[in-house]
Every structure is written in structure tokens, then in C-alpha cells.
């Protein structure tokens, strides 16, 4: 599906500004004294006016070419960006993925899959859910409850996800489980938002943060 990009929109605005500016200049010359540009009393003036209109059409054509060039450049930039992402994935330079799934009204989990060839370390998890939650590593390592807005870094041991050194196999993964300590849904419609922020560090020392969100509704 074709979409407007920011760069293409800028080019369209510039082209439209050029067309309007040239038209206003022509109108200003016509209103405040066309005699300054073209005589109004003989055939020479008519030919001069015709030349001015031809020049305007040339400007319009140039603006159209500018719009087309802007669209082409924007499209090429998107293709280059997509190719770079594909290349990073093939070479194992992409980030791990974080997928939040909800098991029930009080249970959710984040599946971390490392598509990078180097291992990564999960350094912190922030609870953005409006209830206290209990956190587990790989379903059995209990870290205890933490409050809404609280960030936990005091893990029992360092939490690594191995690098994906065999792209033809499923990537290494780690499961983070959460149990909600809060009101249970009653009859009727009940909805709340599960939201967590996970920060990880690569072997190169760079850190990034991902936020995962999903909703529970009954």
C-alpha cells in the first residue's frame, strides 16, 4: 500500500510554495502595472503576456519534476532501510524480540527471543501495570512482588539470552512470567492494561529499552 512519507510531503509543500509564489508575482505585476513587464496596447504586449504564461507552465513542470524526484528519493530511502534491516537479520545484528502474551486475568508473560548472534543480558524490568505483580524467570525463579512504576534490577543471578549462532534453528529464548496481585474481574466487562518495560544490554555494551503492552478484557 502506497503511503505518504515525511520527505515526500516536504517536497510537495516546497513545490506548491513555488507555484503559488510565481503566480502571485505574476498577479502583482498585472495589478500594479503590467506595463512594467509587457505593453498593453499592441500585439507585442499580447506575445509578451503569452511568454509569461509559458514561463509559468515551465515553473509548474519544474515543480512537478521536483515532486516526482522527491517521491523517488523517499521510496529509495525506504527500500534501503528495509534492505538494511534484512541484512542485519541475516548477519545476526538485529535486536531480540519481546512478545507479551496474556494467559488469564492475573497472568501474563514476556517471551524474549534473541535473533542476534551475540548473547544479550536483561538488566532491568519495570512494572507499568496498575497492580503489584510477582515476577518469575523461566516460570520457576521467583523474584517477588514489585509495585506499579517500580523497576527491578536485583535479580538472583545475571539473566542472559544466548546468541543465535544457528540461524536455521529456533532462536534462543527466555520466558518472564508475571502474576498480578490485585482485584479480580467480576461479572460483566472488565479491562486493564498489562504493560512492562524491559532493558537489555548487548555484549558490545550498548543498552536499549523496549516497552510491551497488551490488554485483558472479559
* pLDDT reported for residue 189: 46
Cell (9 digits) for 6: 515525511
The answer to whether the beta carbons of residues 178 and 196 sit under 8 Å apart is yes
Task: Decide: helix, strand or coil at residue 25.
Answer: helix
* pLDDT reported for residue 2: 45
pTM as predicted: 0.56
- Which residues have a Cβ under 8 Å from the Cβ of 210 and sit 6 or more positions away? 95, 98, 197, 198, 200
Q: 97-217 in CATH: which number?
A: 2.60.40
* pLDDT reported for residue 36: 52
* pLDDT reported for residue 180: 81
Q: Environment class of residue 2 by beta-carbon count within 10 Å: exposed (0-12), middle (13-18) or buried (19+)?
A: exposed
The one-digit pLDDT tens for each residue of the chain (218 residues) are 445 556 666 666 776 777 677 666 656 655 444 455 565 555 565 667 666 666 666 666 776 777 677 667 777 777 777 777 676 666 667 888 888 888 777 788 889 998 888 888 999 999 998 888 888 887 567 788 888 899 988 887 788 888 888 877 888 888 888 888 765 555 444 567 788 999 999 887 888 898 888 876 65
R_g of the chain computed on alpha carbons: 31
Domain ranges (residues) in the chain: 6-91, 97-217
The answer to whether the beta carbons of residues 123 and 150 sit under 8 Å apart is no
Give the whole-angstrom CA distance, residue 192 versus residue 125.
19
The closest alpha carbon to 180, from 140, 214, 215, 146, belongs to 146
Amino acid at each position: 500500500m502506497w503511503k505518504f512519507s515525511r520527505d515526500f510531503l516536504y517536497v510537495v509543500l516546497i513545490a506548491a510554495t513555488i507555484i503559488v509564489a510565481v503566480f502571485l508575482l505574476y498577479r502583482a505585476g498585472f495589478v500594479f502595472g503590467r506595463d512594467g513587464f509587457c505593453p498593453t496596447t499592441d500585439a507585442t504586449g499580447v506575445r509578451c503576456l503569452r511568454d509569461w504564461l509559458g514561463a509559468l507552465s515551465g515553473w509548474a513542470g519544474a515543480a512537478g519534476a521536483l515532486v516526482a524526484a522527491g517521491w523517488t528519493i523517499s521510496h529509495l530511502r525506504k527500500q534501503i532501510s528495509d534492505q538494511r534491516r534484512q541484512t542485519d537479520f541475516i548477519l545476526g545484528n538485529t535486536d531480540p524480540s519481546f512478545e507479551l502474551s496474556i494467559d488469564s486475568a492475573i497472568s501474563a508473560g514476556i517471551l524474549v527471543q534473541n535473533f542476534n548472534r551475540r548473547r544479550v543480558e536483561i538488566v532491568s524490568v519495570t512494572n507499568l501495570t496498575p497492580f503489584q505483580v510477582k515476577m518469575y524467570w523461566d516460570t520457576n525463579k521467583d523474584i517477588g512482588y514489585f509495585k506499579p512504576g517500580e523497576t527491578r534490577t536485583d535479580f538472583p543471578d545475571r539473566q542472559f539470552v544466548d546468541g543465535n549462532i544457528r540461524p536455521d534453528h529456533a532462536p534462543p529464548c527466555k520466558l518472564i512470567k508475571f502474576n498480578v496481585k490485585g482485584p479480580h474481574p467480576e461479572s460483566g466487562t472488565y479491562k486493564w492494561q498489562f504493560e512492562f518495560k524491559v532493558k537489555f544490554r548487548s555484549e558490545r555494551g550498548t543498552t536499549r529499552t523496549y516497552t510491551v503492552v497488551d490488554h485483558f478484557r472479559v
